[in-house]
Amino acid sequence: MSLSNTIETQIKTAVQKLYGANLESVELQPTRKDFEGDVTAVVFPMLRVVKGNPVQIGEAIGNYLVKNVLEIEKFNVVQGFLNIVLSDSYYLDFFNSVEDFSSFGKVPQGTKALMVEYSSPNTNKPLHLGHVRNVLLGYSVSEIEKAAGKKVYKTQIINDRGIHICKSMLAWEKFGNGETPDAADLKGDKLVGNYYVKFDKEYKKQIEELKAEGKTEEEAKVQAPLINEAQEMLRKWEAGDEETVSLWNKMNGWVYKGFEETYKSIGVDFDFYYYESDTYLLGKDIIEEGIKKDVFFMKDDGSVWCDLTEDGLDEKLVLRSDGTAVYMTQDIGTAVQRVKDHPDVGGMIYTVGNEQDYHFKVLFLILKKLGYTWAENLFHLSYGMVDLPSGKMKSREGTVVDADDLIAQMTDTARTISEELGKIDDFSQDEKESLYRMIGLGALKYYILKVDPKKRILFNPEESVDFQGNTGPFIQYTYARIQSILRKAGEISTALDLASFKIHPKEKELIKIIQQYPDTIQLAAENYSPALIANYTYDLVKEFNSFYQNVPILATDNETEKAFRVKLSEAVAEIIKSAFKLLGIDVPERM
């Protein structure tokens, strides 16, 4: 039984013995920093069953706890708050009980799997800043869920078909002169993205020409030769035309190679891939079954719908009157296919922007109505847009911030700031470049992940690479500082005699935060929120820096103090490294 459970049980016993009343629950919370104490029991809710003065009730319960709970040293009551002070020995016993802080807080993997989908790009353009938030969130949530004891499959569905893909293909065919990524010395996804932009420019020219001939805007958009040729190309692809499919395979191959380079650069990976070209026909058989079960109904024109009005939603089209699928059909089929492919999957997380909130409400509800038990464990990891100080991005117009360019910019920003600080003059050039990249990526990832996923972000590259405040580089620097302390300390005896050791208040505060790490992992997993891990790590680092500035670590003459403080510093470093790994961030040994 945890100490918080023990305290709760003892408070219930105290109330029963002292007042003859039964408490259903006890509200416990960490004691506020401006009061003495470690755990606070809130007395006010108890007044529903115990009549009297809250201060006097708190005093009576506090006296009972001191007598009956070994770990409780003393208490104080402020209005209706019972502040409980735990003994030094409790904290020392906890610290000594952890054999390995590098694995502290992590739970062994269970048998039921969770599938996390993220990235899911289109093959007509490179990954951009919006994708960066998506992949960082999806990857980090996957790692957090694993740490919390889940078996996790990381996946994506690649949008490799449709009119937008044909636009790039057509533009390359018309204007590319056989250009290849190697010949252009360009990543394949960037080359294909350039032709998507080229299509849009040429298409707009044709629209203007048609408008000059007297056509309306709408007429011009429909009659422009380029859009008609792109639609014809799509029809050929769907019909399996050999030449069209060959071009599609070639250009998609360029893009996949480019994507893999970017994923490797960002430091994310996947276990399984799904392709829309394979899944776009899925789901039709499920719709047929759903009609028989009265989950769906057919209208007079032959179209099939799901009536969700009783659930506060609307009627949703799941099959067109000509028998062709819509996105909802495909998503239903893909979800079912994933469980067929991986029968141990008991839930799925979809990392998709908040503009799709309604779509996923409908999808999850339909899957539940179809009777899939795993549909109870579906979650839309919805996130807000990422903006830059310069404004919104548009891929058709080529104003998107490319993910590769962003990583290069972050590395350059880290280089400039690190060189100004001048603390790495003894590094080799390769060591410097590796560090700049680690700092730049750490700054980018932390800046994005420290924010609650639902909130929109205004991303400022310079602000993110600050070595002070709630930033990745500040935390990385603290880790490197601890490594320097450990190098200077050398070998420290593993067995510490702490029988008569008096713990410093700053040491106690650090241990209290360390203790919270396992619960923080579980809470982050329950809420699918890397922000909880990021901000926990910042709180830990702030507390360590306060400890470092106020308590001598290597300068103390007391060998037991020195050994304990070195071990405490080492534990903090291990947790920083562990927490940052959950965020996909590396930490440097020197900085």
**pLDDT tens figures, 233-281:** 999 999 999 999 999 999 999 999 999 999 999 999 999 999 999 998 8
Domains of the chain with bracketed CATH: 3-86 (3.30.1360.70)
Contact between residue 347 and residue 377 where contact means Cβ atoms under 8 Å apart = yes
Q: Is the pTM above the cut of 0.85?
A: yes
Q: Which H helix or E strand runs over 164?
A: helix 163-175
Give me the phi and psi of 29, to 5 degrees please. Answer: -150, 160
Q: Which residues lie closer than 8 Å to 21 by C-beta, 6 or more apart?
A: 15, 49, 50
CA-to-CA distance for 507 and 505, rounded, in angstroms?
5
Q: What is the pLDDT of residues 124-166, one digit of tens each?
A: 999 988 899 999 999 999 999 999 999 999 999 999 999 999 9
Query: What mean pLDDT comes out for the span 487-491?
Result: 89
Looking at the DSSP bridge assignments, the partners of residue 297 are 305
Distances from the Cα of 193 to the Cαs of 3, 93, 178, 188, 196, in angstroms? 58, 59, 15, 8, 5
Question: If pLDDT is split at 50, 70 and 90, which confidence band does 460 have?
Answer: confident
Is the pLDDT assigned to residue 335 strictly greater than 90?
yes
pLDDT at 564 over 60: yes
CA 588 to chain centre: 22
- Residue with the two structure tokens 């706890």: 65
Where residue 309 falls among pLDDT bands split at 50, 70, 90? very high
Cβ proximity of 71 and 28 under 8 Å:
no
What pLDDT, on a 0 to 100 scale, did the predictor assign at position 267? 96
CB 134 within 8 A of CB 353: yes
Q: Percentage of the chain surpassing pLDDT 90?
A: 85
Closest CA to 366 of 301, 440, 315: 315
CB 170 within 8 A of CB 233: yes
Closest by CA position to 227, among listed 244, 246, 210 = 210
Task: Report d(CA 218, CA 412) in Å as an integer.
Answer: 45
pLDDT at site 324: 86
Helices first, then strands: H and E counts in the chain: 22, 14
**Given the structure tokens 């062994």, which residue do they identify?**
108
Using CB atoms within 10 A of its CB, is residue 94 exposed (0-12), middle (13-18) or buried (19+)?
Answer: middle
CA distance 355 to 377: 21
The structure tokens listed for 483 are 């490594």
For the residues 298-326, what does the mean pLDDT come to?
Answer: 94
Q: Which two tokens stand for residue 264?
A: 């490797």
Strands 457-458 and 386-387: parallel
The SS3 call for residue 496 is coil
| Helix segments in 280-349, DSSP class H | 284-292, 327-341
The answer, yes or no, to whether residue 447 has pLDDT greater than 70, is yes
Query: What per-residue confidence (pLDDT) applies to 391?
Result: 52
* Main-chain phi, psi angles of 348, to 5 degrees: -140, 145
**pLDDT attached to residue 393:** 42
